[in-house]
Amino acid sequence: MDICLILVKESCTCIYMNSYIDSFVEYLNYELHYSARTSHTYVEALKEYEKFLREYHYSFLNVNVDEANQYKAYLVKKEYQSKTTSLYLSAVRSFYIYLVEIKAIELNPFLMIKNPKVVKKLPNFLNHSESEMLFQLEDIENDLVVRNEFIVEFLYVTGLRVSELCNIEMKDILASENKIRVMGKGSKERLVFYKAIDSHLFHYYVDVVRTRILNGQESDYLIVSKTGKLTVRSVEKIVKEYAFKRNVKSKVTPHTLRHTFATDLLNEGADIRSVGEMLGHESLSTTQIYTHVTADRLKKVYENTHPRSKN
């Protein structure tokens, strides 16, 4: 086939595929209620699939199981981490599930393609001394510093995902009960407790500092900047810089604070099912990874309960 004809054909195929990807994103957002961040991740993953299709001159509507397996091998050859490979395969599999649903194709060629086994890393969490350094409250007049202090404290005492924090609206706060309504993954609502936060910091930020930061601007959201709602990336940057200024050596992200929340509860005797509910986990298996990070507590339990270890 003439090389020019191949290039024209591939260009048309990509444009055609992109129109399906656009409708797929709408399906994720409005039918499955995925977050904008997850949808963006899926789109980025599908771009890698497009590269594969172009390289091997395949049409996305005519891919078979052998070619689906070939894509998996293509990802492995690129030496992506197993977690990344799994994400890319899951995105493509979901895309084809959508194509089957809208009757663009009859069968999903990726349905039987298994993701590589992902080695689950132990969650990174702060030890007691690091927590002391990070959560040492200061009397500071700078409004943005107060807000940042509030963000770090609030993430730790609630165990929220950073996206959940960014999406909290003022109407979600049940102040008389020290609770907040949170919309989690899959648009599932749960109640989150925040009584453990410093009371003065909470009311000072919510009642005073937030209003001053907005400076006459309107916003429904709890966590704000001068222009309105804070983004996930902004909060991630705030947490990182806040920990650096407090001389915490460990890498600290919003997820580190979530892990620390869960680990501290378990170390204090909370049952794993309750912790999972507070974290908004759908499955107990998701929470079970935390049973591996409380080695000190497990050692003490063993020494205090095994008949022969007591002597």
Segment (H or E) for 193: strand 189-193
Identify the pLDDT of residue 284: 77
pLDDT of res. 249 = 86
Say if residues 145 and 241 touch (Cβ distance below 8 Å): no
Active site residue 93: no
The one catalytic residue among 72, 161, 210, 259: 161
CA-derived radius of gyration, the chain: 24
pLDDT band for position 310 (cuts 50, 70, 90): low
Structure token pair of residue 91 = 């995105």
**Domain limits, the chain:** 2-102, 128-303
How many whole angstroms separate alpha carbon 23 and alpha carbon 195? Answer: 43
Architecture of domain 128-303: Orthogonal Bundle (1.10)
Q: Which amino acid is at 197?
A: I
Q: Is the pLDDT of residue 16 over 70?
A: yes
From the candidates 185, 229, 240, 297, which is the catalytic residue?
A: 185
pLDDT reported for residue 206 = 95
Q: What is the mean pLDDT of residues 223-251?
A: 93
pLDDT band, very low/low/confident/very high, at 183 (cuts 50, 70, 90): confident
Summary mean pLDDT of the chain: 86
Are 254 and 165 in contact by the 8 Å Cβ rule? The answer is yes
Task: For 229-248, give one letter per residue: b (16+ CB within 10 A) or e.
Answer: ebebeebeebbeebbeebeb
Q: How far apart are CA 28 and CA 20, in angstroms?
A: 12
Predicted pLDDT of residue 139: 66
For the whole model, what pTM was predicted?
Answer: 0.67
State how beta strands 189-193 and 179-183 pair. antiparallel
- Residue 245 identity: K
pLDDT band at 311 (very low <50, low <70, confident <90, very high): low
- CATH number, span 2-102: 1.10.150
Told to judge if 255 belongs to the known catalytic residues of this protein, a careful annotator would answer yes
Confidence at 283, pLDDT banded by 50, 70, 90: confident
Q: 65-77 and 36-56 are packed helices; what angle lies between their axes, rounded to 10 degrees? A: 100
Q: pLDDT at residue 174 above 70?
A: yes
pLDDT in tens, 26-44: 999 888 888 788 899 999 9
Catalytic site includes residue 290: yes
258 is a catalytic site residue: yes
Looking at the predicted structure, is the pLDDT value of residue 238 above 50? yes
Active-site hit among 37, 54, 181, 255:
255
